[in-house]
Amino acid sequence: MNCKDNNTNFLIQMRCDIEREIMTLTNILNKKNDQLKFLTKIVKQNCNHEWIVDNIDIYPEFAEDLQIKYCKHCLLNDNT
C-alpha cells in the first residue's frame, strides 16, 4: 500500500465519521427542537404574562426602529 492509498483511506474514513456525526447532531437538534416547542407551549399557557412594549433600533443612522412586545416574566413575545 502506498502513501496515496493511505491518504485516500484516511479521507474516506474522515468523510464517513463526519457524515455519521452530522446525522447524530441532526437527531439531537430535532429532539431538542421538539422539547423546546413543548416547553414553550406549557410556559405560554401557565405564565401570568405581563407584556412590555419596546422599540429596537434596527438602523440607528436612519432612525428606523422596530416595535416588539414580550413578557416580562417568561420572555416570550406575542408571536410565540
**Radius of gyration, alpha carbons of the chain:** 24
CA 70 to chain centre: 19
Between 17 and 2, the more confident residue is 17
List, for residues 32-63, the tens digit of each pLDDT value.
999 999 999 999 999 999 999 998 887 777 77
pTM of the model: 0.72
Residue 73 carries which side chain, given as an amino acid letter? Answer: H
The predicted pLDDT at position 1 comes to: 56
DSSP state of 55: E
Dihedral over Cα of 28, 45, 67, 56: its sign? negative
Per-residue confidence at 23, pLDDT binned at 50, 70, 90? Answer: very high
